[in-house]
Amino acid sequence: MGFDQKKARLLALAVAICTLLAIFAPSLIAPQGMDELGSPYLPPGPGHVLGTNDIGQDLLSELVFGARASLLVGLLSALIATAAGALAGALAGYFRGRTDALLMGLTDMFLAIPGLPLIIILAAFLGPGMGNIVFVISLLSWAPTARIIRSKVLELREQEFILNARCLGAGNLYLIFRHILPNTGDLILAKAILAAAAGMMAEAGLSFLGLGDPVSKSWGGMIHDAFSCGALTNGAYWWYLPPIFCLSLFVLAFSIISNAFLQANQNPSMSAGNYYGRNPSKAKEVDYSASPAPALLHFENHSVSFPQRTGDVVQAVQGLDLTVQTNEKIAVLGLSGSGKSLLLLSIIGVNLPKGNYSGRVLACGEDVRGMSQGELCHLRRSFAAYTPQGIGNGLNPVMKIEQQIMECIPRANKKNGQTAAELLARAGLDEPERTAGNYPHRLSGGMKEKVLAAMALASPAKIILADEPTKALDEDSCKAVTKAFASMKDRAMIAVTHDLNFARAVATRVLVLHQGRIVEDAPASVFFKNALHPFSLALLQAVAMEGWKLEEVNKAPSMEAQKQEACSFIRECPFAWEKCRNRPPLLNRGDQKIRCWRYAA
């Protein structure tokens, strides 16, 4: 935090103390009560520090009691307007589509209306009274906040920790109020402070025009009385200058404090995905604990493609067939861009924008693609636990580690006394109690990955979906994370990884993907001793080479290569022959499946 922001926080503390005293205890500050009268038009002196008004009231006391009315109107209108604007902006930015169009259309309409003239008209129509003034100011002040919060929510909804929470089964409203709005806290607070300053100015303007509350006199009411009673012509400057000065001072202080919070609100954006299953209707919960389907998970001709502006189509996953049994551990190997992460996201109904999805994904016999949003939330809570790739990007930056882990623990386990510290200890963290009380920014990359492993341990899910859990970690952290995942004996797992040590320690089965297709499927014990597909052999050789140059095994497929009905590895394969110009099927060879003509009968 910079020096200016420190001073701004001290200023905020001073303003808060003055505000609390003015609202709740003005009689402690005011030298006299408002019912005590003296000589009128007395100048400032020992008995009356700011003099008296036309009926002999002490102006310092009137200034103190006037602060109460001005600050109450400003703060109440700011609270209502900011809450309404933040909610509208959050709903528009999160749901987008028609909701966004409707709310932003309404917002633009209020932004286009000239505010001050309409405030004057409405205040005159509704009549005097603090409640009416607060209502009018709030009604015309929420739109700027909605527009700004929407922009922030559009950024936040694409971050990894939101995707992670969604993959854990969090519903839309829970995500908005628990994860998204808390991350806009500084921005909302800054807008609320500015709205309070604007509310005080609007109230002062209305009161100056005689539309204020005659019972609870504010600083604007003092200025109105001073000018209407001839203070300007009679030279009674002590009547109108103090409320003008106090009003200006508070507005300036609010502006400085708000600017400090706006400067602090600088968070980087991370890209993530969208979801399908947008049916908002109430859904029945699917019982994943007792399903007649023999397989835990089944892919049937699953394909994912992305249309390009040129009219071409990128085939990310092509015709994938896969069955996962209970407690089976699968390591998915392949180059970046081969469709590994898309495979995981498809299991929990999360997909990237503009993707075309076909085929079926069955979770305990239930088609994931046909589920409503409510059914998907239940699926993510009880069937699959997803840990995203990236060092800790799946952690909410404004929530403590303990809170995030406890979100994943079922109620029954909470009643049995299961704690976040116990799970962190199982994940290999040396100081679990201390870590549980920290925020993510205080943890190293390895510690964050162990926290994600602890969240997976906390989940009641039947299958763990891990996307490169050891990526960018040092050797010791890799070993600890590998040990944590290897300890999950009672559930299935699909782990996307480039780390062969992790695959050896954790997996019972290995899949190798190349350009969106399975090219080899084998038991882990067989694969690491006797891999058959030329790409698998090249992959193992590349990992064994110094430098870990995995991406040099193959170049990214060109659009022309994708259109060809040939083996995807034909350009680099040392065993390629004429028959490889036709795409091979997935062939059975003992316990292994290989997509290569060399092993055709």
The answer to whether domain 3-30+61-264 and domain 289-599 are alike in fold is no
Distance CA 361, CA 366 (A): 8
CB 32 within 8 Å of CB 58: yes
d(CA 509, CA 292): 24
Q: What is the predicted pLDDT for the residue at 446?
A: 78
Residue 185, pLDDT score: 86
With 80 as the cut, is the pLDDT of residue 104 above it?
yes
pLDDT digits (tens, 9 = 90+) for 44-83: 877 777 878 777 788 888 888 888 889 999 999 999 999 9
Chosen CATH of 289-599 out of 3.40.50.880, 3.40.50.150, 3.40.50.300, 3.40.1160.10: 3.40.50.300
Q: What is the pLDDT of residue 545?
A: 56
CA distance 275 to 271: 14
DSSP per-residue string spanning 402-456: HHHHHHHS-HHHHHTT--HHHHHHHTT-S-HHHHHTS-GGGS-HHHHHHHHHHHH
pLDDT tier for residue 496 given thresholds of 50, 70 and 90: very high
Q: What CA–CA distance (Å, rounded) separates 18 from 26?
A: 10
What residues are paired with 322 via a beta bridge?
299
- Sheet with strand 463-467: strands edge to edge: 384-387, 463-467, 492-496, 329-333, 509-514, 517-523, 592-594, 587-589
pLDDT at 560: 45
Homologous superfamily of the 3-30+61-264 domain (CATH): MetI-like (1.10.3720.10)
CB 557 within 8 A of CB 568: yes
pLDDT at site 417 = 57
Residue 84's pLDDT is 95
Whether residue 552 has pLDDT greater than 70: no
Task: Round to whole Å and give the CA distance between 120 and 122.
Answer: 6
Listed ranges 33-37, 390-394, 583-587; the one with the highest mean pLDDT: 583-587
From 377, 383, 382, select the one nearest 363 (Cα to Cα): 383
Domain locations along the chain: 3-30+61-264, 289-599
* Distance in angstroms between the alpha carbons of the first and the last residue of the chain: 70
C-alpha angle with apex 83: 77 to 85, nearest 5 degrees?
Answer: 95
Between CA 111 and CA 186 the distance in angstroms is 23
Q: Which tens digits make up the pLDDT trace of 256-288?
A: 888 887 776 543 333 333 333 333 333 333 343
pTM for the predicted model, two decimal places: 0.63
